Amino acid sequence: MNNEVIDSRTSQLTKLQRLDLWANQFSDRLNPILIKETRQSLKSRQFIFTFFSLLTAALGWTIVGSLSRMPQIYTTPSAPTLLLGYYAVLAVPMLLVVPLAAYRSLEVEIDDGTLELLSISSLSPWQVVLGKLASSLLQIFLYFIVLLPCMAYAYTLRGVNLTSILLITTTLLASGIFLTIFSVFFASLTHTRSGRTLTLLGTVIILLASVAGISLAMSSLILDGNLLSPNELFFSIASCLFIGPCAGHLMLTATAIRLTPESENRSTPLRRSVLALSTSIIFASALATLLLSARVTRTTILSQPDFLYGLMLAGGTLWTIAGSMFVSESPNLTPRVKRDLPSSIFHRSFSTWLTPGPATGFFFVCINAFLMVAWFGFGLKWLAATNLSVDEFAIVSKRLAWAFELSSTFAAYLVITLIFVGYLVRLIRKKQNPRIEIGIASLIATTIMMALIPYSIGLHLNEFRTYAYSNWQMSNWIWTLSWIYQGNDPGSVPFLVKLIAILILVISLIRNRKVTRPTRTATPQRVLDEKQKKRPNHAGELD
Amino acid sequence: MSDEPSIARRDQNNDNNGPVKHSTGPEHSTGPEHSTGPEHSDNFDDQQADQGNSIGQSPPVPNSGALSSQGVHQSPPSAIELKRLHRFFGDTKAVHDVSFSVSRGQIYGYIGPNGAGKTTSMKILATLDLPSYGDAFVDGFSVVNDPEFVRQRLGYMPDAFGTYRDVSCIEYLDFFARAHGLIGRERERRLQRVMDFTGTQGMKDKPIRGLSKGMKQRLCLGRSMIHDPAVMILDEPAAGLDPRARIQLRQMIRELADQGKTILISSHILTELAEICDSVGIIEQGKLLATGSVSEIQSQRQECRKLVVRVLSDPEEAANKIKRNLEIKEVLVDGQLLKFEFQGDIQQQAVLVRSLIEQGVELAEVRSHQKSLEDVFLSVTEGLVQ
């Protein structure tokens, strides 16, 4: 009966009303933040000003650029000149205005207390963050679509191939999205006024630097064309596709975690995200080894595996920063977290290292650092051996052995440093309840002291004159690593450092054996019942 | 009840229907010492152990108000319950061992000077902050362990408006309705109901920026009740409102309570709280100094009452008779009026009046001045600020 009434009522509606009804129903499935932000944006002065400025600039440059190329525009390729202008017109809103607007949007939510109101609604922190991102993406796409005809016009003027135009537009879009994620992440870092001044300053500086860097690369692409070989181009795109989304996911996870209450498990999602990024680095290095060992580039690039330096540096930085935060977590698990601890042997075997706590965090970092080092030491060697001749492999093998030495020593230093950081944070926790970011501060303090103390002693003993590297500089990780990097022989220092790291690891494993047997607590029946129930609000009518 | 855990027993004493309880008794000094260091969350294990031990010592409790091992009431007796709540910010004890409960459908007034810990405890109840020690429950769900279930049942109106720029009233309410998971017709119905209730129907398309403070307050009340919560926490809702707006707000709050909603409200305007609250709690420097119904607190705090007597005969002579009868040292004579403080209940007051008449004093009028909530507040608190 009801359906008949609804059908007859629906049939009486005009097409416009039906569209409105459909749009209303569709909006129920969208993120509420996206709807709110879009409503706000469309009314905001910032959007109106940016949009009309973009239109005016695009139109202006089309006229001015075309006239300035007259009369050669009919005979000589003129696309680069016009495309350069269009790039500038599009880059400002996409790489600067939208990320800053996203930053400001989250900042205002924190300032006005509306973020508190959102956090007690049914929206999860992830929904809040994704809603902000989605509304920014909408603006980015809007600006992009507006300028699309202009780019098509530039293409008709010849001088830039379709691949370059695709590369430019994809890079702009990807960079815009990434910088927006970055800005939202920075906005969530602090809630204090002084802290926000710093984060705003940092965001602006990083955005400007990024815009400058991207613009340089893009203008080179427009004016000189694509200088990369097909393999290099494929590697660049593929590694960006691997690493970019994982890095973006990590920043979004970190932002969502900043908005998540302390009683929740905030560590596991972060660990998963770090693990994904680490895996993407490993994939990228594997891909690079396979692609760059092709005959065309073998002699030029593979003998100098610069890509490895970059990836090793990225992996090392990632695990150092993440590790310092993981070992700084509170050792006390909330009852809420204890309910979700792994219970079966299988579950425990794989998930224990993902559960919150400094001990699990330490082993999580150690295991992954070990895996990464093993990959750089043996995995890449094996991959290279499958594609290279014996002579070529001998050259490559030498470089990879060097990379292994450097990365394994770094990992050993990381293990030792994290133990110190853990103890330092434990001391602080006796008086305070610091955020896990205290781990980064402790890490900086520890690493500086580890390097500075032996160096200063050495300087004092040598009457403040320069002196040679010796075993006494064992804790001076900067000197030791740079010594290895320069190809010098550091003596027995790497061996000793690795031995100490292994000993520390074994002792910690024995001391923290209880961590592998976490006591999961039962979830109350009423909570289980409540979870089973469908929320009545969600079962609202859609008719 | 004697089989209940120790925490529950303590709370029985603090029940708002019971006598006024000062929460500075010796038993309060045992728990928090565990957690003097870290600000919060480091004592979860202690808490759980505390609760677990208590449960372990007692036989199965059929009482519906008993706690499970996870701190969730099987069937909650109160809509709001604070159990030994502590919140420390460094050395500052913003909330110090606060326990009280609010029954369903009641309005509980939370009174205290600025910086007393009202907003902090309200924020903990609203799941916006975590306690350093203790726990709070909404409809039996812990704000620490099950905040998502608390949020479903809770409407929170902070002391700040929390509004957006470039958004109209209807868009604002619509957004929060969506944020609370309301969809389709249900959302439209709730929006309509809320706008009708708060009287914001006529300004639905107006931008929030141009609204008066009173209208913004109505809108925020509408926002906090958009998902039809069973419990509402209102932090200083009447602050800065003109008398008419205050009266209207008071009526709305009373109406919400009549609809069965439990309301925790803080305010500086004590006369208003006295009128609408079923019970109140007075907090200062993070400590709950008194809790109970307004009349209970008034009678408990009524150490002596002020009597004003109008006599038609010689006032000096009447004053001397009063002094002789009651051994009162001072009786203020103001024309025909005699003012003095009388220690005794209403029965003893009747005896005094009869005695004076029998002694030939011509009494025209006897007035007994009852202590207002403001007087009680002033006598309970010392005006200390942290």
Please give the helix or strand (H or E) that residue B86 lies within, else none. Answer: strand B80-89
State whether A121 and B179 contact (CB < 8 Å).
yes
Distance from CA of A522 to the nearest CA of B (A): 8
Q: ∠A105-A108-A176 over CA atoms, to 5°?
A: 20
For B184, which of A25, A113, A523 is closest by C-beta distance?
A: A25
State whether A521 and B69 contact (CB < 8 Å).
yes
B180 shares contact with chain A (CB less than 8 Å): yes
CB contacts, 8 Å: A529 with chain B: none
State whether A112 and B72 contact (CB < 8 Å).
no
| Contact (Cβ atoms closer than 8 angstroms) between residue B321 and residue B359 | yes
Taking only the tens of pLDDT, chain A with its 543 residues reads 455 555 555 566 778 888 888 888 888 888 999 999 988 888 888 889 999 999 999 999 999 988 887 887 777 778 888 888 999 999 999 999 999 999 999 998 888 888 889 988 989 999 999 999 999 999 999 999 999 899 888 888 887 888 888 888 899 999 999 999 999 999 998 878 788 889 999 999 999 999 999 999 888 888 877 777 777 778 788 888 889 999 999 999 999 998 887 778 889 999 999 999 999 988 888 887 777 665 444 444 444 456 777 788 888 999 999 999 999 998 888 788 888 888 777 887 778 888 888 988 998 999 999 888 888 777 777 777 776 677 777 777 777 788 788 889 999 999 999 999 999 999 998 877 788 888 999 999 999 999 999 999 998 888 888 888 888 888 898 999 888 888 888 788 889 999 999 998 899 888 877 766 667 777 888 888 877 775 454 444 433
Distance from CA of B75 to the nearest CA of A (A): 9
From B93, B95, B91, B86, select the one nearest B41 (Cα to Cα). Answer: B86
Beta strands in A438-543, from DSSP E residues, in sequence order? none
Q: ∠A49-A51-A55 over CA atoms, to 5°?
A: 115
**Could you give the CA distance from residue A458 to residue A462 in angstroms, rounded to a whole number?**
6
Predicted local confidence at residue B354, as pLDDT: 86
Strands B231-235 and B154-157: parallel
Q: Which of left, alpha, beta for B240 (phi over 0: left; psi -120 to 50: alpha)?
A: left
Q: What is the crossing angle of helices A193-224 and A79-91, to 10°?
A: 170
State whether A121 and B151 contact (CB < 8 Å).
yes
Helical residues (DSSP H) of A225-334, grouped into ranges: 230-258, 267-292, 306-326
State whether B184 and A28 contact (CB < 8 Å).
yes
A332 shares contact with chain B (CB less than 8 Å): yes
A40 shares contact with chain B (CB less than 8 Å): yes
Tokens of B336: 């025909």
Which chain A residue has the Cα nearest residue B37?
A431
| Contact (Cβ atoms closer than 8 angstroms) between residue A389 and residue A295 | no
Q: Which of left, alpha, beta for B380 (phi over 0: left; psi -120 to 50: alpha)?
A: alpha
**Could you give the CA distance from residue A314 to residue B38 in angstroms, rounded to a whole number?**
35
State whether B179 and A122 contact (CB < 8 Å).
yes
B227 shares contact with chain A (CB less than 8 Å): yes
State whether A336 and B146 contact (CB < 8 Å).
yes
Tell me the torsion sign for CA atoms A156, A159, A163, A169: negative
Taking only residues 39 to 58 of chain B, the set having a beta carbon closer than 8 angstroms to any beta carbon of chain A reads 39-45, 47-48
Q: ∠B336-B341-B344 over CA atoms, to 5°?
A: 120
In chain B, what is the greatest distance between 2 CA atoms, to the nearest angstrom? Answer: 80
- DSSP designation for B239: T
A538 shares contact with chain B (CB less than 8 Å): yes
Tokens of B116: 């007393």
B171 shares contact with chain A (CB less than 8 Å): yes
**Could you give the CA distance from residue A383 to residue A499 in angstroms, rounded to a whole number?**
28
Q: Check whether B379 has a pLDDT greater than 80.
A: no
- DSSP designation for A376: I
| Contact (Cβ atoms closer than 8 angstroms) between residue B157 and residue B233 | yes
Please give the helix or strand (H or E) that residue B192 lies within, else none. Answer: helix B184-198
Q: Check whether B43 has a pLDDT greater than 80.
A: no
| Contact (Cβ atoms closer than 8 angstroms) between residue B349 and residue B309 | no
Residues 6 or more apart in contact with residue A121 via CB below 8 angstroms: B151, B176, B179, B180
Higher-confidence residue: B324 or A414?
A: A414
Taking only residues 439 to 498 of chain A, the set having a beta carbon closer than 8 angstroms to any beta carbon of chain B reads none
**Could you give the CA distance from residue B375 to residue B383 in angstroms, rounded to a whole number?**
13
Taking only residues 138 to 167 of chain B, the set having a beta carbon closer than 8 angstroms to any beta carbon of chain A reads 140-141, 144-147, 149, 151-152, 154, 156, 158, 160-167
Predicted local confidence at residue B57, as pLDDT: 30
CB contacts, 8 Å: A116 with chain B: 128, 158, 162
Distance from CA of B268 to the nearest CA of A (A): 22
Residues 6 or more apart in contact with residue A127 via CB below 8 angstroms: A31, A32, A33
A46 shares contact with chain B (CB less than 8 Å): no
B130 shares contact with chain A (CB less than 8 Å): yes
Distance from CA of B49 to the nearest CA of A (A): 11
**Could you give the CA distance from residue A451 to residue A453 in angstroms, rounded to a whole number?**
6
Predicted local confidence at residue A323, as pLDDT: 93
For chain A, the 3-state helix, strand and coil shares in percent, each to the nearest 5, are 80, 0, 20
| Contact (Cβ atoms closer than 8 angstroms) between residue B291 and residue B100 | yes
For A336, which of B39, B40, B145 is closest by C-beta distance?
A: B145
Residue B224: burial class (beta carbons within 10 Å; 0-12, 13-18, 19+): buried
Residues 6 or more apart in contact with residue A65 via CB below 8 angstroms: A81, A82, A85
B163-213: pLDDT as tens digits: 788 889 999 999 999 999 898 888 999 999 999 988 888 888 888 888 888
CB contacts, 8 Å: B37 with chain A: 429-432
Tokens of B151: 């949020």
Taking only residues 338 to 397 of chain A, the set having a beta carbon closer than 8 angstroms to any beta carbon of chain B reads 339
**Could you give the CA distance from residue A204 to residue A186 in angstroms, rounded to a whole number?**
10
CB contacts, 8 Å: B223 with chain A: 117
The DSSP secondary structure of B43-77, one letter per residue, reads: THHHHHHHHHHHHHHS-----TTPBPTTS-BSS-S
Query: Residue A190 corresponds to which amino acid?
Result: T
- DSSP designation for B27: G
**Could you give the CA distance from residue B272 to residue B246 in angstroms, rounded to a whole number?**
9
**Could you give the CA distance from residue A74 to residue A123 in angstroms, rounded to a whole number?**
57
Predicted local confidence at residue A355, as pLDDT: 87
For A113, which of B147, B158, B167 is closest by C-beta distance?
A: B158
Which chain B residue has the Cα nearest residue A537?
B182
Question: All domains of chain B, ordered by start, with CATH?
Answer: 6-59+67-299 (3.40.50.300), 303-369 (3.30.70.100)
**Could you give the CA distance from residue A452 to residue A467 in angstroms, rounded to a whole number?**
15
Tokens of A274: 């770090």
Q: Check whether B31 has a pLDDT greater than 80.
A: no
CB contacts, 8 Å: A39 with chain B: 166-167, 171
**Could you give the CA distance from residue B262 to residue A147 in angstroms, rounded to a whole number?**
56
| Contact (Cβ atoms closer than 8 angstroms) between residue B264 and residue B122 | yes
Please give the helix or strand (H or E) that residue B231 lies within, else none. Answer: strand B231-235
State whether B166 and A40 contact (CB < 8 Å).
yes
Q: What is the three-class DSSP state of B95? A: strand
CB contacts, 8 Å: B186 with chain A: 537, 540-541
CA A325 to chain centre: 16
Report long-range pairs for A96-100 (Cβ below 8 Å, ≥24 apart).
Answer: A96/A207, A96/A208, A96/A211, A97/A46, A97/A50, A98/A136, A98/A139, A98/A140, A98/A143, A98/A176, A98/A180, A99/A136, A99/A176, A99/A179, A99/A180, A99/A182, A99/A183, A99/A203, A99/A207, A100/A183, A100/A203, A100/A204, A100/A207
Q: ∠A206-A209-A214 over CA atoms, to 5°?
A: 120
Predicted local confidence at residue A11, as pLDDT: 62
State whether A335 and B39 contact (CB < 8 Å).
no
Distance from CA of A128 to the nearest CA of B (A): 10
**Could you give the CA distance from residue B99 to residue B14 in angstroms, rounded to a whole number?**
7
A451-508: pLDDT as tens digits: 999 999 998 888 888 888 888 888 898 999 888 888 888 788 889 999 999 998 899 8
CB contacts, 8 Å: B167 with chain A: 36, 39-40, 43
Tokens of B212: 């008066």
Which chain A residue has the Cα nearest residue B187?
A540
Predicted local confidence at residue A3, as pLDDT: 53
From B284, B281, B273, B286, select the one nearest B297 (Cα to Cα). Answer: B281
Distance from CA of B154 to the nearest CA of A (A): 8
Q: Check whether B46 has a pLDDT greater than 90.
A: no
From B39, B67, B222, B59, select the one nearest B133 (Cα to Cα). Answer: B39
